[in-house]
Structure 1
Amino acid sequence: MTSGPQPPVRPAVRVTIAQLEVSDDASANVVVARGAFDEAQRVHADLLVLPEYASAFDRRGVGAAHAQPLDGPFVSALRERAAATGVAALAGVTLPGDEHDERATNAVVAVDGEGALVGLYRKVHLYDAFGSRESDRLRPGPSDAAPLVLDVAGVRFGVLTCYDLRFPESARRLADAGADVLVIPAAWADGDLKAMHWRTLAVARAIENTAAVVAVGMAGKGVVGRSLVVGPDGVVGLELDERPGIRTVDLDPAELRGVREANPSLANRRYAVVPRG
């Protein structure tokens, strides 16, 4: 007789989704992230996904005051816990500007199960919409930067951030780079129809790219939460409400292959994605 969660049956990859409530207290956020790693380790997860701005968040706007360097406390804690637990991680952080542009950068870091920092995605599409002006405080990442695709247990996870979800070209570029799963850490702003947009767009990105989608929202005031996991056929397999929560799913690459064989839309398309300057 066995007790407790059992490791995933390969080739499935186990992903823990941490819908966290994040504050502007950087030290407290490190503690919260460590707790998410503890849960991921308990359930034998291969990958932990934290939301956008996991290092620090203020719903009035995130900027230089919330930034930390890559060798700062938050990313260092991610690397330490990944090495200790064997769980890889994707997490939203805010990086400092420089002498040429003091605005901070909204980024996602990729840490492997040995604790190495193996990738960085700088958010391309800043949230200048619905009355917000993210570009006043943050600078965009280069649109022609190499896509961030992280290999975890043989499955390739491609990374977008929040508002990027509204731009299908970004997701398609990741599919072109070999992504099996699209991961979207987010602090999706609340408002009229916003939760509906979040869900609808996540499902659309899954269907049009025949890729699974792991959309991890932030919980708390001003954001919708409502993390979800969508199969490559568009079926929602997991969906949270607006409250903080941590859930774990197994993703089966055989399902992805089956959907892409039945619906070869990626092979049948006639247009390529070309970044604009």
Structure 2
Amino acid sequence: MRPAPPVRPAVRVTLAQVAVSDDHAANRETVLDAFVTAGLARADVLVLPEYASGFRPQGVGPEHAEPLDGPFVTLLRERAAATGVAVLAGTTLPGTSAGSDRAVNAVVAVDATGDLVGVYRKVHLYDAFGHRESERLEPGPADAPPLVLDVAGLRFGVLTCYDLRFPESARRVVDAGAQVLVVPAAWAAGDLKAMHWRALAVARAIENTAAVVAVGQAGKGVTGRSLVVGPDGVVGLELDEAPAIRTVDVDGALLASVRETNPSLANRRYAVVPRD
């Protein structure tokens, strides 16, 4: 049995707001560079955006899918084991049925030893603002256990992109013990979209008294603008549209203090129940 990772006053998180193309090999080189930066910053966890393995603004589908033992996730596991940096990253998996003409939008969690801890399959597909993600992708099961990754004494729970618009998704992850909500995204650009992205991230932080680490993809057709929000709603880091990698410390003591002062989770009167 491996010893439990050390608990520290703050957990160091590297946000990789990178541009992603449909060239999977080039994207893996981008991931390698992000791991180097995270390692130099002595980060505990690296967060990559949605579709970090392969992306095109017109839509992602089966042509971008790789299995969990494919080159992208294998690289994540190898670099996590080599650097001691855990990673949360968006990828695209094959559909769940043989011969499926749709893929699965997923986030994988790899711990600092290189173990694949879990996979979140995106529940809310982006059928909005003129997009039809469901034509290329199949949704994950709404009743699947939330994906939560323990890193140095804090629990990181996973949402993906459009999930940010559904407060019950965040609340369900928090009910599973998450103190930090991680949101890998390729948030589509458009009228008011950057404003929505920021406002929703702040709202999810305040209502759940949780930190939010929202990592947007940079490049054509997407918004970028990654941000880190404290459990009190204060935005501690906010990027623009350009590719950038930044590292922040998430303070566990602040999380505990805010939840003591604002016990809204304890005071709530309704539970979240997945729909059929």
**TM-score interval w.r.t. the shorter chain?**
over 0.9
Equivalences for residues 132-211 of structure 1 within 5 A: 132-211=131-210
SS of 1:182's equivalent in the other structure is strand
Q: Which ranges in structure 1 are unaligned for 5 or more consecutive residues? A: 1-7
Give the structure 2 partner of residue 88 of structure 1: 86
Equivalences for residues 28-43 of structure 1 within 5 A: 28-43=26-41
Give the structure 2 partner of residue 75 of structure 1: 73
Give the structure 2 partner of residue 251 of structure 1: 250
Give the structure 2 partner of residue 231 of structure 1: 230
CA–CA separation in structure 2 for the residues paired with 1:113 and 1:160 = 20
2:43 aligned with 1:45, yes or no? Answer: yes
CA–CA separation in structure 2 for the residues paired with 1:56 and 1:102 = 17
CA–CA separation in structure 1 for the residues paired with 2:140 and 2:10 = 32
SS of 2:14's equivalent in the other structure is strand
Give the structure 2 partner of residue 21 of structure 1: 19
CA–CA separation in structure 1 for the residues paired with 2:219 and 2:240 = 11
CA contact (8 A) 1:165 1:202 kept: yes
SS of 1:164's equivalent in the other structure is helix
Deviations 1:162-196 (A, max 9, x none): 00000000000011111000000000000000000
Deviations 1:121-168 (A, max 9, x none): 000000000000000000000000000000000100000000000000
In structure 2, give the amino acid aligned to 1:53. Y
CA–CA separation in structure 2 for the residues paired with 1:117 and 1:258 = 32
Give the superposition deviation at 1:59.
0.3
Root-mean-square deviation over aligned CA pairs = 1.1
CA–CA separation in structure 2 for the residues paired with 1:102 and 1:141 = 15
CA contact (8 A) 1:13 1:252 kept: yes
In structure 1, give the amino acid aligned to 2:35. F
Deviations 1:42-68 (A, max 9, x none): 010000000000000000000000110
CA contact (8 A) 2:89 2:108 kept: yes
Give the superposition deviation at 1:100.
6.3
Question: What is the count of residue pairs matched by the alignment?
Answer: 270
CA contact (8 A) 2:109 2:116 kept: yes
Give the superposition deviation at 1:10.
2.5
Q: Which ranges in structure 2 are unaligned for 5 or more consecutive residues? A: 1-5
In structure 2, give the amino acid aligned to 1:23. S
CA contact (8 A) 1:19 1:225 kept: yes
Length-normalised TM-score, structure 2: 0.96
CA contact (8 A) 1:96 1:102 kept: no
CA–CA separation in structure 1 for the residues paired with 2:237 and 2:130 = 31
Give the superposition deviation at 1:99.
1.5
CA contact (8 A) 2:7 2:152 kept: no
CA–CA separation in structure 2 for the residues paired with 1:102 and 1:178 = 35
Distance 1:249 1:9, change over 3 A: farther
Give the superposition deviation at 1:11.
1.8
SS of 1:142's equivalent in the other structure is coil
The percent identity for this pair of structures is: 77
Deviations 1:95-122 (A, max 9, x none): 0113263310000000000111011000
Give the structure 1 partner of residue 127 of structure 2: 128
CA–CA separation in structure 2 for the residues paired with 1:9 and 1:171 = 24
CA–CA separation in structure 2 for the residues paired with 1:233 and 1:47 = 22
CA contact (8 A) 2:7 2:153 kept: no
Length-normalised TM-score, structure 1: 0.96
Structure 1 runs (4+) deviating above 2 angstroms are none
In structure 2, give the amino acid aligned to 1:69. P
Give the superposition deviation at 1:9.
9.8
In structure 1, give the amino acid aligned to 2:80. A
CA–CA separation in structure 2 for the residues paired with 1:243 and 1:57 = 17
